[in-house]
Amino acid sequence: MNTKELLGLRVKEYRKQKKITQEKLAELIGVDNGYISKLEIGQNFPSIKTLEKIANVLEVDLYKLFMYTAENNLDYKSEIIKIYDSLSKDKQFALYVASKAMKS
């Protein structure tokens, strides 16, 4: 993955944690709706001014948007359990099926 893609993933991760839609984030930072979508998939690379606005709205220090290697220190089991617990029964089952398929 390149820097634009990694940055986009971090923005998406923090946006989802704050339960903000792409449209709402775009509105709050003053860009068009498609901009956030393209940013999150690595097609756009924001200016420092836009990055500052994004960080402010997402209530995260700007440098954290560029901390890509922190994922290596995650306790994956705990994170998976948190995700699982937040899902509906149907989605829990889908995750189970996907996990089972990955095991084989």
Is it the case that residue 75 has pLDDT exceeding 80?
no
Hey, where are the domains in the chain? 3-70, 74-103
Report, as an integer, the average pLDDT of 70-85.
Answer: 75
Asked if residue 76 has pLDDT above 90, the reply is no
Statement: residue 1 has pLDDT above 80 = no
Residue 68: pLDDT over 80: no
Is there a contact between 37 and 8 (Cβ–Cβ < 8 Å)?
A: no
Q: What angle do CA 64, 2, 39 make, to 5 degrees?
A: 65
Q: Per the confidence metrics, is the pTM higher than 0.95?
A: no
Confidence of residue 3 (pLDDT cuts 50, 70, 90): confident
The whole-number pLDDT of residue 71 equals 52
Mean pLDDT of 6-30: 95
CATH number listed for the domain at residues 3-70: 1.10.260.40
* DSSP annotation string for 21-33: -HHHHHHHHT--H
The amino acid occupying position 15 is: R
Q: Decide if pLDDT at 65 tops 60.
A: yes
**Nearest Cα residue to 63 out of 72, 54, 73, 74:** 54
